[in-house]
Amino acid sequence: MNIVFHFGRYFIMMYRVFSKPEKFGIYRENTFKEMISLGIGSMGIVAIISLFMGAVITIQTASNIDSPWIPSYTVGFTTRQSVILEFSPTIIALILAGKIGSNIASEIGTMRVTEQIDALEIMGINSASYLTLPKIIAALFINPFIIIYSMFLGMFGGWIVAVSTGIVTSNQYIYGLQYDFKPFDITYALIKTVVFAFVITSIPAYHGYYTRGGALEVGRSSTRAVVYSSIAILVVNYLLTQLLLI
């Protein structure tokens, strides 16, 4: 019953979020601000995670290849497939669910408990749309660029470790990266990214928007937002993989 209630309220909120904005100019301006805040602000953490992720995949793949019949370029191939298909879109989405999700939930939750959302409503502004729509649009637009950036850095991290440790040569690694490349894999990863971008902005916004109480509840909303958006990412990841790859 509780789940049905939350689903119902979430979809009602989304209906309000996507209703006609009061003033397009303000929404556009806010969307650009959110792109900087959500996108540029996440570049550092994405870079660190992606570089190390690519490096670890490369080492693990190399250490698991015992047979001399398996060519060395498999290390580059496996790194590419792992990074493009799963690690960049999904793991980075989970990381962003923690970073962006908690930020959105606590920001909107604080505005709720300090009556700033009531103030918006009193001014005749659709507060759900004003606070949430720019974040969703910004994430939908900027996250694919973040994920492409993560893919590049992941493969680059693998190359650094491959070359510096001598696991495989640079040429073998790069050959592996190019071997049997299917452009649809990128499409698949970007479709996932866009859906995850919606999840990691809308679910925390929902939890923040319906916060009741004080500082303690803002913290709880923030935690709930991260937990539920992470679960939603995993479920959606499975469903999209089933739909798009099989």
CA 43/CA 31 separation, integer angstroms: 18
The residue assigned the tokens 């452009």 is 183
Which stretch, 18-26, 72-80, 89-97, 214-222, contacts another protein (CB under 8 A)? 18-26
Which stretch, 56-64, 94-102, 122-130, 173-181, contacts another protein (CB under 8 A)? 122-130
The CA-atom distances, in angstroms, between 30 and each of 35, 130, 145 are 9, 9, 19
Residues 6+ apart with CB under 8 A from 234: none
CB atoms within 10 A of CB 212: 9
- Give the residue among 122, 123, 142, 243 at the shortest CA–CA distance from 200: 142
Q: Fill in the DSSP letter of residue 41.
A: G
Indicate which single residue of 59, 125, 163, 190 sits in contact with another protein (rule: CB under 8 A): 125
Is the torsion defined by CA of 212, 214, 215, 216 positive or negative? negative
Indicate which single residue of 74, 126, 172, 223 sits in contact with another protein (rule: CB under 8 A): 126
The CA-atom distances, in angstroms, between 110 and each of 58, 117, 118, 144 are 43, 9, 12, 29
Measured from the CB of residue 28, what is the shortest distance to another protein in angstroms?
13
Indicate which single residue of 123, 215, 234, 243 sits in contact with another protein (rule: CB under 8 A): 123
Which stretch, 123-131, 145-153, 163-171, 225-233, contacts another protein (CB under 8 A)? 123-131
Could you tell me where the beta strands, DSSP code E, fall in 72-209?
none
Indicate which single residue of 15, 18, 26, 64 sits in contact with another protein (rule: CB under 8 A): 26
Q: Which residues in 91-120 contact another protein (CB under 8 A)?
A: 110-111, 114-116, 118-119
Measured from the CB of residue 133, what is the shortest distance to another protein in angstroms?
15
- Give the residue among 215, 10, 211 at the shortest CA–CA distance from 108: 211
Indicate which single residue of 60, 98, 99, 121 sits in contact with another protein (rule: CB under 8 A): 121
CA 100 to chain centroid, in Å, comes to 9
Q: What are phi and psi of 127, to 5 degrees?
A: -65, -35
Measured from the CB of residue 29, what is the shortest distance to another protein in angstroms?
10
Q: Residue 15 interacts with another protein (CB under 8 A)? A: no
Size of the site for another protein (CB under 8 A): 16
Measured from the CB of residue 125, what is the shortest distance to another protein in angstroms?
6
* Contact residues for another protein, defined by CB under 8 A: 22-23, 26, 110-111, 114-116, 118-119, 121-126
